[in-house]
């Protein structure tokens, strides 16, 4: 379970998309949200867009691995698709904030690898938010005000990537993913493999 978090505009969505294109064994966890779709977003691919009443019912039924309310909208990670992907041997990528990361850590810490994406500077962060041209001015100011609080949680993460250049940042995340996959606790079948090497099992 690979988590990437950042303030809005730092580039985690761009990095995530490039990473998914390069890593066939990695699948994206699709979040549910109560907000309205943005232009170009696809139901079931970008988000599951659901009414607030249904979202609250799913919370009560413990159908989320994590959930939070951000900017008056609720977001959550449905449990069933993630568990199915992990059972099938896939790694799962999560795009959640620090609150969601804390909740995931409380439920699956040994399976979790966390990365925080930082912008190269505050002016560049604001520039990226304006370049997206998806939010009105008041929302941009809200996001900038929230960014400092979000970035103060960087120390809770396993790895930090400063996103100066997207290609370099993707390469860094790929290096993290490769190293974490090679950890002995994640090498399925390793115990029997070594037994055979040592002549204590059947080849």
**For the chain, which residues make up each domain, given as ranges?**
2-29+89-197
Residuewise pLDDT in 10s, the chain (203 residues): 999 999 887 888 899 999 999 999 999 999 999 999 998 999 988 899 999 999 999 999 999 999 988 778 999 999 888 989 988 889 999 988 898 899 999 887 778 999 999 998 888 888 887 776 677 888 888 888 888 889 999 999 999 999 999 999 999 999 999 999 999 888 878 888 999 999 876 65
Please state the pTM of the whole predicted model. 0.81
**Bridge partners, 69 (sequence order):** 74
Q: In the β-sheet with 31-33, what is the strand arrangement from edge to edge?
A: 47-49, 31-33, 73-78, 64-70
CATH T-level assignment (fold) for domain 2-29+89-197: Rossmann fold (3.40.50)
Helix, strand, coil shares, percent, the chain, to 5 = 50, 20, 30
């Amino acid at each position: 379970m690979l988590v990437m978090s950042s303030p809005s505009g730092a580039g985690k969505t761009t990095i995530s998309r490039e990473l998914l294109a390069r890593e066939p064994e990695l699948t994206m966890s699709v979040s549910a949200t109560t907000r309205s779709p943005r232009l170009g977003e696809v139901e079931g691919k970008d988000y599951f867009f659901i009414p607030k009443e249904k979202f609250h019912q799913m919370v009560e039924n413990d159908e989320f691995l994590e959930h939070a309310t951000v900017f008056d909208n609720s977001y959550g990670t449905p449990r069933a698709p993630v568990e199915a992907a992990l059972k099938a041997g896939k790694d799962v990528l999560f795009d959640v904030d620090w609150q969601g990361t804390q909740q995931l850590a409380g439920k699956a810490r040994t399976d979790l690898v966390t990365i925080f994406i930082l912008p190269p500077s505050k002016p560049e962060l604001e520039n990226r938010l304006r370049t997206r041209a998806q939010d009105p001015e008041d929302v941009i100011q809200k996001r900038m005000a929230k960014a400092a609080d979000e970035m103060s949680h960087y120390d809770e993460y396993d790895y930090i990537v400063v996103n100066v250049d997207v290609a370099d940042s993707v390469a860094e995340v790929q290096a993290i993913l490769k190293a974490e996959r090679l950890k002995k606790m994640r090498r399925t079948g390793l115990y029997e493999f070594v037994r055979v090497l040592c002549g204590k099992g059947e080849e």
